[in-house]
A and B are shown apart, each in its own frame.
Chain A
Amino acid sequence: MLEVKGLRSGYGSVEVLRGIDLDIQAGEIVALLGSNGVGKTTFASVVSGLIKAWSGTIRFKDEEIRGLSEQAIVDRGLIHVPEGRHIFPNLSVRENLELGAYRRGKANRTRNLDHVFGVFPRLRERFAQKAGTLSGGEQQMLAIGRGMMAEPQLLILDEPSIGLSPLLVEEMFELIEQLNRDGLTILLVEQNVLQSMEIASRAFVMENGEIRLSGQASVLIDDPELQRSYLGLA
């Protein structure tokens, strides 16, 4: 579904992504892992068109999308739920969700709204409340719900567990797994290695703007290098 080859990008003259190769097949959860500052968020932002790529190719559903505007990428069904949520604090929960479907016709809106409320019943209770008044977990649900309103074919979730209590993190990962079982392809960008590996089919580990390790999550989890660097196991 997504095929990235030799992707380079950065800010000003500072190179952040030094040639990333990554692919996602339809129906998968793929985890993109790594510690702070290795370029995971930059990668997600380049794919969704927020940041320009310097070189390389990004193919989505067999079409080159590198260089397309954010709108054109949303139109094609690639939806990016950003790190830090970036929901609209001055708008109600309902308005936030409606804007998620900004590039879609109004016809499916009610059905999609019901779908989101089915997955996140908490949002239905908060319906008319200003999004800025929600708790951190609820805001994360809203950010994901807003992404779902755009009828995504590939959903990029950037650090959905950040700032959440351990219990909520657990709940969030279960929800992500649920979304995937319902047929959604997901790129999960995370620092939380262990829990991400549990729900992902494959994983890529980034270091310094490059892919250091990749493979089946079930195999990768036993990799000695990964265990040493990310899980604190000798």
Chain B
Amino acid sequence: MPDLAIIIPSVLNGLTTGALYALVALGLTLIYGVLHIINFAHGALLMVGLYAVYFLNVQLGIDPYVALFIVPPLMFALGYALQRGIIGKASHGRDENILLVTLGLSIVIENLSLFVFKSDTRAIDTPYSFEVVEFLGAFLPLPKVIAFAGALVTAALLWLLMSRTDLGKAIRALAKEPKGAKLVGINAEHVFAMSFGLGIACLGVAACLLLPSYYVSPQVGHGFVLIAFTIVVLGGMGSFVGALIGGLIIGVVEALGGLFLGESLGQIGIFLIFILVLISRPTGLLGHKV
């Protein structure tokens, strides 16, 4: 039995990873909660964001944290255009079509990037990549601490947007009551595209926070999106708080699993928790009955 001196750093590390998972999952749950789209292109779009951060850094020397002001707005625009121009148009309002469209998008995006960027993994070099922060006796990489804080701030901003602004209210209204929403004059197509854009913008933020301590390759999204789907189901489909808590839980479970079972078996813990939650609470931790 390892003692606390090992467990605490492991838990803290898990929390920092979990916050980033949560950020990816927040975008996914926002898109699912409003559009009822299970966005298979989520991982591919995260990869697009990571490449954007990478090339801004390598070509133009822009720091990933400065890119926070560039990449998320670009990703928002991309998401808005994808929903309004492709997903919404091609799906004719049928859920099974949407599924296929987003799956198709992910295949196209991934193979395009394989073609253009090859399957090399690339990382960036920043002056702070290997700096550490000491906290509760644990040494945490500085980029991961910043990512943790950034993910929480983003989640808080998203919550404010959803609860305080007209757009947020319109998004929530449209998710539950499309007819009522139309009757108060909410433009459904526009608000759908705004929601999709916001979900994808979350990926832009995640990409900026992730790259200083991670890498990018055409397949980089896979690992994230599988975990993000798990988090969304675990936390309750469409629940923001659920996604945040679910992300943190998964991060910690993964870290502790790695500690006790070894790196290669560490992820088993995630799916054990997942199965246990689904058996006891089929709608997820904070989900509502459908």
Contacts and interface: CB of A to CB of B under 8 A. Distances in A.
Interface residues of A, number: 26
Nearest to A71: B185
Interface stretch (B82-90, B133-141, B170-178, B254-262): B170-178
B179 A88 contact: no
Interface in A119-155: 146, 150
23 contacts: A50-B179, A50-B183, A69-B187, A70-B183, A71-B185, A74-B183, A74-B184, A75-B185, A79-B183, A86-B180, A88-B176, A89-B176, A90-B172, A90-B176, A91-B169, A91-B172, A91-B173, A99-B173, A99-B186, A100-B184, A102-B184, A102-B186, A146-B184
Interface in B173-229: 173, 175-177, 179-187
Contacts of B179: 50, 82, 86
A79 B169 CA distance: 19
Contacts of B96: none
A50 B180 CA distance: 11
A81 B179 CA distance: 11
A207 interface: no
Interface string A53-73: 000000000000000011100
A95 B166 CA distance: 9
A67 B173 CA distance: 25
A71 B176 contact: no
Contacts of B166: 98-99, 102
Nearest to B173: A88
Contact of B177 (A50, A71, A75, A89): A89
Interface in A83-99: 85-91, 95, 98-99
Contacts, number: 64
A90 B172 CA distance: 8
A100 B186 CA distance: 10
A199 to B, nearest CB: 23
Interface residues of B, number: 17
Contacts of B175: 90
Contacts of A74: 183-185
A103 B184 contact: yes
Contacts of B184: 74, 99-100, 102-103, 146, 150
A71 B187 contact: yes
Interface string A146-186: 10001000000000000000000000000000000000000
A88 B180 contact: yes
A216 B169 CA distance: 43
A80 interface: yes
Most buried by B among A48, A70, A80: A70
Nearest to B164: A95
A124 to B, nearest CB: 19
A71 B182 CA distance: 7
